[in-house]
């Protein structure tokens, strides 16, 4: 009976060891900052974004000038002319809002440009993480860059350098 019990305990220990999976974490912010293509993409996005922002700000300056001129001339204008000016100002404001939405909206030009420049890098990171997870028998790899979810971690489980290495970058 003792032998059967010990055998049962041994078998359950072996199964529990086999079922255990490893866990690791990465820091995508660290990885992205170590990739020159990401820095270049970010600079391009910043430059394009600034250019579009200046274009929109110029429209708003024009709108403010139109408002100022309208207020100054308002007492001298006929009702028809007032209405015409108000309509012109409203059209210019609508134009500015449409342009802002076109560039910075939910699926705007900036979003499309980001998808074009950054998404391939993110996909490459994901593929490298997936390969490392499969090869290292990791059950879960957590990204610690996206918020203070992990309060404590052991640095020996950081796989960020492995991901960079797998992608062909040295750090």
Q: What is the pLDDT of residues 136-161, one digit of tens each?
A: 877 778 887 776 445 345 566 788 88
Alpha-carbon gap, residue 110 to 114, rounded angstroms: 6
pLDDT at 126: 87
Name the H helices within 74-108.
79-104
Inter-helix orientation angle 79-104/109-135, to 10°: 20
- Which of the 8 DSSP states describes residue 158? B
User: Average pLDDT, whole number, for the chain?
Assistant: 83
Number of helices and strands in the chain (H, E): 6, 2
Taking alpha carbons only, the member of 128, 143, 119 closest to residue 45 is: 119
List, for residues 48-106, the tens digit of each pLDDT value: 999 999 999 999 999 999 999 999 998 888 999 999 999 999 999 999 999 999 999 99
């Amino acid at each position: 009976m003792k032998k059967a019990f010990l055998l049962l305990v041994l078998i359950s220990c072996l199964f529990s060891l086999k079922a255990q999976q490893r866990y690791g974490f990465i820091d995508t912010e660290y990885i992205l900052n170590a990739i020159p293509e990401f820095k270049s993409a970010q600079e391009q996005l910043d430059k394009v974004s600034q250019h579009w922002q200046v274009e929109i700000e110029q429209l708003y300056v024009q709108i403010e000038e139109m408002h100022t001129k309208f207020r100054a001339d308002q007492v001298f204008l006929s009702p028809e002319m007032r209405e015409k000016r108000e309509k012109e100002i409203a059209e210019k404001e609508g134009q500015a809002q449409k342009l802002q939405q076109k560039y910075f909206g939910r699926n705007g030009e900036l979003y499309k440009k980001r998808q074009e420049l950054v998404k391939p890098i993110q996909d490459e990171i994901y593929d490298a993480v997936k390969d490392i997870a499969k090869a290292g028998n990791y059950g879960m790899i957590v990204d610690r860059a996206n918020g203070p979810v992990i309060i404590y971690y052991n640095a020996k489980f950081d796989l960020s350098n492995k991901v960079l290495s797998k992608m062909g970058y040295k750090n």
